[in-house]
Structures are given as structure tokens and as C-alpha cells.
Structure 1
Amino acid sequence: MTQFVQTSIKNQIGFITLDRPKALNSLSLDMVRAITAALLAWRDDGAVKAVVIHSSSERAFCAGGDIRFFHDAGRSTPQGGSALLEDFFTEEYALNHLIHFYPKPYIAVMDGIVMGGGMGVAQGGESNRMRIVTERTKMAMPEVNIGLFPDVGGGYFLSRTPGQLGTYLGVTGEVIGAADALYAGLADVFVPAGELAALFAMLESADASSITQSVREFAARFKAQAEPSASMLAAERNAIDKHFAGDNVGAIVASLSQDDAAFAKKTLDTMGKRSPLMMCVTLSQLRRGQSMSVADCLRMERTMVRRSFENGEVLEGIRSVVIDKDNAPKWSPSQLSEVSAEMIERFFEPAWPAHAHPLRELD
């Protein structure tokens, strides 16, 4: 437990409460370490049958990593080679891996904002996970807006969404709601925010050994309130699959430019504000991630993060959004036509010898 992470055990369920509301639960290194410590302690504890991670605030589950810290640490040393950044991302990615392979049911209540690093601690696992959304959920991997890429395993979970939905979400950084998240396979059930108190009461009284089934049964009555087939992503699925099928961002833009529909025009406008370089890097990341294991994706992204801070695009992006708040980043290059294959490939070049990679022990 730290100042911003509270833990408890009730009804054989370990509860992790993110409690940094003023920062929208943005993850610090201490928070990453506290979550990791709790999960490791409960993993081999027979008295704990499942884990629930949630927020103390209705505004946000977790808005991501602490990007102001990233900016300050990245600017403190040449080429962004801060030891604090090295520790943060290495330990965060190790936590994402731990969650993905956690042997017990892992339930994430994604009420409010869930972005970036928040997705990393919510999307892990497959057979044992349960991801809950509410009408307040605002979900995104918005990293291209700050000169980064969808990390924390984004190359894995975005590339496994239906069709080109993950490509669209990663390259544009668009924010989606509950029905969209369900349609994209980035959430499992919907529970109205007004019913969360009842949900937690159920969690604290139901049979912990079958808790994910109990959550599904609890949420079943609310299914019609967030119907995936009525989502924006469902409505625009054909256009998304058509325009985002290529392996070149320039081709995606060209395809969108030939479409007079409002969705295409809005998407073009959004992409026009993103980092041209990082949209291209993101597209390459997602295409590579399609055939990678989660461990390989995390290792790839760990290298990419290091290259990102060496490059400096992320520092300019954070400056414009968080530090100066002018929302006028000076992207380099400023145009898609100026992004070369060599610039993109640089982000994937090994940053460490294989035997010295900080995530070499991941399976």
C-alpha cells in the first residue's frame, strides 16, 4: 500500500483501489510497485481467490502514466536517457506481463477515463479477466497526440480487435465509450455507474471461486443499455476496415480523402493534429504485433519507448498538451510526406544486447 494505492481483502477477493484523484490516477513508479507487490503477494495465497482493481473516483479509472513526470525526467538527461524513466517503463511493462498471465480471476472496473497505462492494467489476461465499463467510460490509446505510440501492450491487444478497429484506434487516438469498447472486444460487460455500489456489495458476498460468472449474471440485466451493435464503431465498421487496411499512413489518408462521408472528414481532421512520425510508427507497431506474443510485444515496446525519448517527439507533445498547454506541437517531421522508412525503422532497432534487455526474463 502507498499513498495512492489502497489494498484490502474481503470475501477472499483482493481489492486494489487507485486513489490519486487529482491526477486522474495517473501511474507513478510507486503506484506501479504497489500494484505489483499486491498481485505477487496474492498470486500464491490460497486465501485470495480473485482480484478486483478499481478507482476511488468516478472521474477516472486511470488516465495513464504520469506524463508530466515523463517530460521532466526525459529533459533531465541527454537523449532522454533518464534512469527514472528506465525504471518506470521496465517495471510498468513487467506489471502488464504479470497481469496478462495472472492465474486468478482479474476484474477491472473501468469507470471514467481509462487511457494509456490504465489500459495496460485493465486489458491483461484473457481466460481469467473481466473488464467492466459504465456510461462514464472514456477509453482511448491517445499516445499519438503526445508524440508517443500505444504502448503497455497496445501492440498486442489493439492488433487483436476485429478487422481494422485497433488500427483506427491506435493511429487516430480516438476516444470511445462503453458500447464501442464492447464492440471492439476491449470490454466484457456493462454496468451502469449507479449500480456499482450494488456490484461491490455482490462481490463482497458472492462465491469468490466463481466470481466472474457472478459478475456476468449481475451485468446481464443491463446489456440493452450499451448494445455493441449500436455503437459508433459498428456503424462505421465498413469504412474503418476499408480505409485502415493498408500498411502505409499516407495510403490511409489518401483513402479517407476520397470519401465524402462525415466520418472520413472527421477522421482526417483528427489525424491532421497527430504526430506524422508517430502515426507511422504506430501503424508499423500494430502490424508487427499481430504475429507476436504478449511478451514479445512488451519487449518491442520497451525498446520503442527508449527510442521515443531519444528522438524527443514525445517531449514536444507533452510540452504542448500539459506543460505550456498551447496545443500547438511542432512535430518533426511536420508532414507525412517527410517521414521516411528509416525514421520508422529506427524505433524498432534493438536498444540493448539480447542478454541485457531489461525484460529478458518475460516468457
Structure 2
Amino acid sequence: MSTPEASAVSDEVTTYIANRIGFIELERPKALNALSTGMIRGMHAALDAWREDPDVLAVVVRSQHPRAFCAGGDIRFLYESFQRGDEAARDTFFIEEYRLNHAIFTYPKPYIALMNGVVMGGGMGISQGAHRTGGLRVVTGSTRIAMPETRIGLFPDVGAGWFLARTPGALGRYLAVTGETIGPADALYAGLADAYIDDTALPALVDTLRSEVFERGVDVVACVERETAAHKVVPTPDTSPLADTRAFIDRHFALPDVAQILASLEAVSGCEEAEWAEQIVGVLRERSPLSMAVSLEVVTRAEGAMADCLRRDLDLTRTSFAHGDVVEGIRARIIDKDNAPRWRFARIEEVRADDVAQMFESPWPAAEHPLADLQG
């Protein structure tokens, strides 16, 4: 095994080169590796340094902690910044996070994400782009994926709308609106993961990556594909919970707005679909009505470039904190934990198309947008 050739260490993220692979290791286990501004900067600095380095063939991002790959952004920090009126700190966090997401999405070398444990919110932002680099999104038996933002009055940001819009049928719309958590077989079925490996085999995979001889980035990817091919996920993707309920999901979540989706679900009775529909109705009645409507629209509008999605995400973070439910959602779910949020709209039926459209209005002129320079 080769020793690391270069190393940069902080309290929360470690980046180094070993065996011609750039390793990014998330080191904030007490917060389930929730991203801080410092972690975002550390990751981006490493990717920039390795972009043109001929001695780096590929990048591997991982967590050494069994509970989580990355549970998202630092929600408590965002809440506290709002409480002290520090809009600049909040803007800085989102701008730098979305720039990192874009850098990963457009990276010129294979980027491989080893997604064990909790992978939510911002964790999706630093993993899903691997699919576009010729790299891989690897899930394990412990992987739990979600964009649970509607639960706290936010929306699927970090460019996740782009990936959700490209899942089969109405799966992306369903996942965005409900914020439901899925397992590894579901992720493979939905096209949100590329390969599976048992958790117990992850250390051996990393050892192999540190010792095998590689000449090109594609050789690193081929090594991961070979090592993961020996592992089979249970249930299989085509018998996963998402696959089993796919017909139900498509029937209801293809409808044009959340009010119609809810009405359709509530109309189900006296068949095998009824129990599932009743459960989903319960989920939707608990989420932020405005956030669900915005989240559905995020997926609907995500047909274009990732750069456009990230600019729109930044606009929405501003309006979500200014006019939306996110502050109240974080208070109820994370800070006070009373689970009794007082949403801006009590019921989804009260949310009008104009209310949703206003959330998408950018506070910046196009030429002055903080992400105006992003392309692709």
C-alpha cells in the first residue's frame, strides 16, 4: 500500500493523494458529517488542486464513520444565522455549497462517492454528480437516501432537482414532495446509484484502491466496478419498495400539482393501493404545504442545465428564509423539537399558483447573480 503523497487536514475534512487517487474523507461524525462552510471550502480547494494534476487520476469521497456519509448542510448554523440577521453568512454558505456541487458535476476526472449510512440533502449534492464524471455512486446495505426538505419547509436544493427530474416515471416528483427515505435497492432502481457493496467490504475496497496499479482514471472506476460486482443487494432493485409501488406513484404523482395529487390519493379506497395511499396522505398532511408545492415545481423546472438549477436553488433559499416556512420548520423539527410547525399555509389546498411563482423570483438581476458564471 502506498503512503499518502500529499495531505491537507482540518478538523472536519481530510484531503490527500494516495496511489494517484485524490481522497476526500468527511470527519464530522457527531453531526453525521453535515457540511459546514469550512468543509465545503476544503473539498472545493482539493478538487481545484487536483483538476489539472497529472498525478491524480480520479477522486474518491467517503466517510470512515458507519452512521453517515453526509446528512446534509448545517441546518442549525443556517437557523442561527437567520436569528442574528446574518444574511451574508447564509448566502455565503449556499453560494459556496452550490459552486462545489457544480464543480463535482462538471469535474473532468472520475469522481467516486462511497455512500454509506445517511445520505441526505447536501450529501446528495456531493455524491450525485459522480454519475456525470464517468465515476460511480456506490451504495451499501446501510445507505439511507433522502431529500427530506419538505419536512422542514425547504425544498430539494444542491441541484438534486436535476437528478430527481431524470428518475423513471414520477419517482422524482414523489421523492421531492414526500421527502421519503429510500434504501440501496430503491436508489439503484431510481437511477440515484450505480453500484452496491456490503458495508463490511468497504475497507477492503479502499485498501485495493490504495495498492492496485492504475494508469488511467477509467482503470480506477473499473476496479470499483469489479469489486462491487461480487455483491448483490437484497431486495433486488426490481423488487424494491419503490419498484413495488411504482404504478401507484406514477398514477398520483404525475398529476400537475400537490392539491390534485392529494385529492387523488384520498379518493383511493377498497383495494390494495388504499393502505399505501392512506400512509402517503398522512405524510403529505405533515409536510409544509408551500414547500411541497415549491418542491414539485423545482423538479418540473429542472429540464435544463445544472447551472440553471443551481441558480434557481440559490434564489429559492433567499425566498424560503424571507417568505417561506424553513425557519419555522427548523425551529419545530430541530431546535425546539415540538414537531408542531405553524406553516404559512395550513393546508395544501390554500396554496395558489401565484404563491409558488413568487418564491421563484430572483433577488438578483441576471448579470449580477452570484452564480452567473456557472455553465453546464
- Aligned twin of 2:249: 240
Q: CA deviation at 1:56?
A: 2.2
Which of 205, 228, 239 is the equivalent residue of 2:237?
228
Q: Does 1:122 align with 2:127?
A: yes
- Aligned twin of 1:86: 91
- Aligned twin of 1:157: 163
Distance in 1 of aligned mates of 2:13 and 2:232: 31
**Is contact 1:32-1:92 (8 Å) kept?**
yes
- Aligned twin of 1:61: 69
- Aligned twin of 2:289: 276
**Is contact 1:6-1:19 (8 Å) kept?**
yes
- Aligned twin of 1:307: 319
Distance in 2 of aligned mates of 1:264 and 1:168: 12
Q: How many residues align?
A: 359
**Is contact 1:190-1:226 (8 Å) kept?**
no
Which of 139, 142, 158 is the equivalent residue of 2:148?
142
Distance in 2 of aligned mates of 1:58 and 1:267: 30
Alpha carbons of 1:43 and 1:226: their partners in 2 closer, same or farther (altered >3 Å)?
farther
Distance in 1 of aligned mates of 2:309 and 2:335: 30
Distance in 2 of aligned mates of 1:144 and 1:189: 28
Q: Could you report, residue by residue, the CA deviation over 1:138-190 in whole angstroms, capped at 9, with x for unpaired residues?
A: 11000000000000002201111111111100000000000000000001111
Distance in 1 of aligned mates of 2:258 and 2:180: 16
Distance in 2 of aligned mates of 1:206 and 1:225: 29
Q: Which ranges of structure 1 fall in alignment gaps of 5 or more residues?
A: none
Q: Which ranges of structure 2 fall in alignment gaps of 5 or more residues?
A: 1-8
**Is contact 2:114-2:139 (8 Å) kept?**
yes
Instruction: Please tell me the residue identity of whatever aligns with 1:212.
Output: V
Distance in 1 of aligned mates of 2:246 and 2:324: 34
* 1:12-91 alignment runs, 5 A limit: 12-77=20-85, 82-91=87-96
**Cα RMSD (Å) of the superposition?**
1.1
- Aligned twin of 1:351: 363
Q: CA deviation at 1:54?
A: 0.5
Matched residue SS, 1:265? helix
Q: Could you report, residue by residue, the CA deviation over 1:258-295 in whole angstroms, capped at 9, with x for unpaired residues?
A: 22322111111111110001100111111111x21111
Matched residue SS, 1:17? strand
Which of 95, 101, 105 is the equivalent residue of 1:100?
105
- Aligned twin of 1:201: 207
**Is contact 1:130-1:188 (8 Å) kept?**
yes
Distance in 2 of aligned mates of 1:200 and 1:105: 16
- Aligned twin of 1:113: 118
Q: Does 1:249 align with 2:251?
A: no
Q: CA deviation at 1:127?
A: 4.3
Matched residue SS, 1:218? helix
Q: Could you report, residue by residue, the CA deviation over 1:71-90 in whole angstroms, capped at 9, with x for unpaired residues?
A: 0111222xxx6100010000
* 1:5-16 alignment runs, 5 A limit: 5-16=13-24
Distance in 2 of aligned mates of 1:114 and 1:127: 19
Distance in 1 of aligned mates of 2:350 and 2:235: 42
